[in-house]
Chain A
């Protein structure tokens, strides 16, 4: 078949034209592609490079070692110990169920923990380690290690956890750390990224919480390259963190241990020992207490319920958070206020018939028969109430409260423990403000003997005793040094009181303990140069009704525990050259002279002798009993306790 030449030429021409159009379109599109390429790879390169880096580089925080805590003699109170956990990496395991079954036959696994781990495994990438048993014993770790060939993908891992070698002794002082909770995070504005590390431990209460910033340290970081599934390919760089600073407390762990065990001989009590010169807190104990190690890796619901359901409230420190009417231990405040005002002199006497009428109401002395004629020294020695009622009516509440404030009552002492209470040294304004009621003279009368609105903590009473012993503004100090730097001792300046008046109070307190008719004579110290001065207190927590009074006051032992009197005692020793002040409260423990003073004496002697005192420091008739008690305390808590990491589990 032959085609006309012209037709062929025409079709060829048309094809060339169309080919030029199609080719042109193609080149235009190639140009567009090149422009796009240039835009993305040259103009936008920096932005995409940043995105690519963000993709591949992850910053992993390295938790710093938490600062350790020591007592004044360098004994460790809080340290970091290795904590072992068993982790499983699914991709190395093969048959997960079978391997876990094998592991189960070797070591005990907590069912709930295991379920949670299996759930986590289902959700996470197969190369990520999942913890199947936390804080396991060394024994478990060695079993797993020995059987490693049968347990592919299962490895023990080690981390650091907080450990309190002295257990419950310092529970209230140190407080404890615990895993960061979402509640903790919600409270902190702009929280440190460290806190988001799983299982990171944060100071929750006590010194651990108050010095959190100092103890925590600074996180280190490593930059790692990860792939799209999050697997770490290699480490790019590492910046070492900074370990937390160490703390040294003023507390003497040996004394603290003694005090704690001594207090545990009664149901609920607290005691504070303070150096009267420096204000160093040598011991702050509260009983019952708890084991802070329970909290470190998260406390179990059952354990926590046990602690919160206990009627003696072991979680709270009676020493700083407990507020009690100080009872007769407050009388020094009333007396000093009156002496300083010049309302009375030490020799002036008041007649005590066993009660006193104030604005139509009868206020009783604890001794119903009355004390007869009382001067200052005798009234304190025998703890006559009527004498102080009389002073109170003469000087009024404002002067008494002002004196109490000077001695640290109604003042919040700056001690780094949790919930340190301010207490109450009541005034007229305070009552109006608080209750919307006017002050009545009866309130003053009650306050004069440390009842009514007056509330103090054992810490405050100890500070009061220190100031009475020195006449200076001694302030409590709990932290001796931070990261090796000594915290300054506040050398309390003179309180500006008449030294003669202070001296009179001290002598009267000496008589309380050392005079045959003193309320604490039974708890005197006879060691030469060790004699103490003190004051007993018995504070009521209930109103004695007229009906009860008519029947005769019932003895404490017949009442339910919550309604019994508090037994209190404050003292300082040695009298000639005061070194330590001590305050003791036995919560709902009955009479101060019988129940608090002996404890205070034991503690004082222990502090003065720096250990177990010789028996001849005690009056001869007490020695037999004391010997038995000392032996018992030694047995209850052996002095040297070898506590290692392995003992934990």
Chain B
């Protein structure tokens, strides 16, 4: 059902919209972010600077933005989807030329007041444009090869640009989220079977390409794969990170070493302790109880989103909410799998908890869309 068919009158207007916001979801988001503040305070050795304070300010800003986005009717956002996608692709092309180099990759554009990471923005705009596309596309054409090829191009274009930066982690997340959305939209099983099969083939090809003239990924990416497969092989180099991260996590035990008592993080054995490996600090200081609680909070976010999607009869809203939830899921699942040694270290931060500006703002904007869909759902 399209929004034009709703009795728009039954949609809340003005300040009354505040009452219809999905507050449980908002509160869980605040809870997750608070865990982040706590851990950033801890890894700074019991200090609000340099991480906890800016993070709190940005979250406050992001939260206000989220409410702001929620106030705007979802049909407006729907109409913006194509434009947003276009802008983010242009920005991705922009970083190719004007981007600053960080950690060996061109990732952001310095806007003066903040660093814009277009790849973060793309995570949402891709979901938006795909949701709008499948809302527009008649159901019977969904699995038509031509109408399948179109969204595939929409996914692959930004993915290729991100991959080129090079940011393998985000590229994979984009593919995952885009593919997931196509699956949700009802594209035929056979396509996915074909893609997964060829994906396995591609991975094999990539691994085979190593050391040849047609090498497909960077050397450091190969090394990360090696390190993932056997961390002890390079205990003083990249493998050192994952080894120390696992020690930090494991040594937490049931209840952890206590707030600000994590030896691995306090004594700097833990790398990137305020960004990619912040989960290990939590695990070390609060043990299994602490780390499992955070996992539960994340699961709760996903659950609330799915619940919100299921009560919503608008197709665009449905796909958007599920797509953003999937994105969020991939985000934390890949990070956790990475820091627990289940996935190679690909440089994906923990959503809302890791220190970082644009990732958090973009996520809160995304949840603003989820809220907007929730507030303006057909009744």
Contacts and interface: CB of A to CB of B under 8 A. Distances in A.
A27 B264 CA distance: 30
Interface stretch (A32-40, A262-270, A520-528, A591-599): A32-40
A37 B287 CA distance: 10
Contact of B264 (A15, A52, A233): A52
Nearest to B287: A41
Nearest to B298: A30
A19 B283 contact: no
Contacts of B254: 41-42, 45
A234 to B, nearest CB: 11
A52 B262 CA distance: 10
Contacts of A42: 253-254, 288
B252 A41 contact: yes
Contacts of A210: none
Size class of the contact patch on chain A: 35 or more
B263 A19 contact: no
A227 B295 contact: no
Contact of B313 (A1, A12, A229): A12
Nearest to B322: A19
B247 to A, nearest CB: 5
Interface stretch (B91-99, B334-342, B348-356): B334-342
Given A18-B184, A42-B288, A52-B247, A23 B306 contact: yes
Interface stretch (A3-11, A303-311, A410-418, A459-467): A3-11
B253 A33 contact: no
Contact of B180 (A3, A12, A22, A38): A22
B221 interface: no
A3 B2 contact: yes
Nearest to A56: B263
A62 B302 CA distance: 57
Contact of B186 (A18, A32, A227): A18
B218 interface: no
Contacts of B2: 1, 3
Interface string B255-296: 000000001100111000000000000010001100110010
Contact of A19 (B138, B244, B291, B309): B309
B306 A7 contact: no
A29 B267 contact: no
Contacts of A30: 295, 298-299, 333
B267 A228 contact: yes
B253 A228 contact: no
Given A33-B295, A37-B283, A37-B295, A227 B267 contact: yes
A34 B296 CA distance: 9
Nearest to B137: A11
A491 interface: no
B184 A22 contact: yes
Given A26-B329, A52-B248, A52-B264, A16 B310 contact: yes
Given A11-B315, A30-B299, A19 B252 contact: no
Contacts of B269: 52, 55-56, 227-228
B371 interface: no
Contact of A34 (B185, B246, B295): B295
B249 A41 contact: yes
B250 A19 contact: no
B185 A37 contact: no
B183 interface: yes
A16 B321 CA distance: 13
A42 B183 CA distance: 37
B184 A45 contact: no
B299 A41 contact: no
Given A8-B1, A18-B186, A228-B267, A41 B253 contact: yes
A2 interface: yes
B333 A33 contact: yes
Nearest to B180: A22
Contacts of A41: 249-250, 252-254, 283, 287-288, 291
B5 A47 contact: no
Contacts of B309: 19
Contact of A45 (B5, B140, B251, B340): B251
A226 interface: yes
A51 B247 contact: yes
B256 to A, nearest CB: 9
B26 interface: no
A40 B339 CA distance: 11
A40 B304 CA distance: 29
B246 A229 contact: no
Contacts of B315: 11-12, 15
B186 to A, nearest CB: 5
A225 B262 CA distance: 13
Nearest to B263: A56
B326 interface: yes
Interface in A264-321: none
B43 to A, nearest CB: 13
A29 B335 CA distance: 13
B127 to A, nearest CB: 13
Given A22-B322, A26-B329, A226-B267, 11 more contacts: A1-B4, A11-B186, A18-B185, A30-B299, A37-B249, A41-B252, A49-B250, A51-B247, A52-B247, A55-B269, A56-B269
Interface of B: 1-2, 4-5, 138-140, 180, 183-186, 244, 246-254, 263-264, 267-269, 283, 287-288, 291-292, 295, 298-299, 302, 306, 309-310, 313, 315, 318-319, 322, 326, 329, 333, 336-337, 340, 342
8 contacts: A15-B315, A26-B326, A37-B283, A37-B291, A37-B292, A45-B250, A48-B247, A55-B263
Interface of A: 1-3, 7-8, 10-12, 14-16, 18-19, 21-23, 26-27, 29-30, 32-34, 36-38, 40-42, 44-45, 47-49, 51-53, 55-56, 225-229, 233
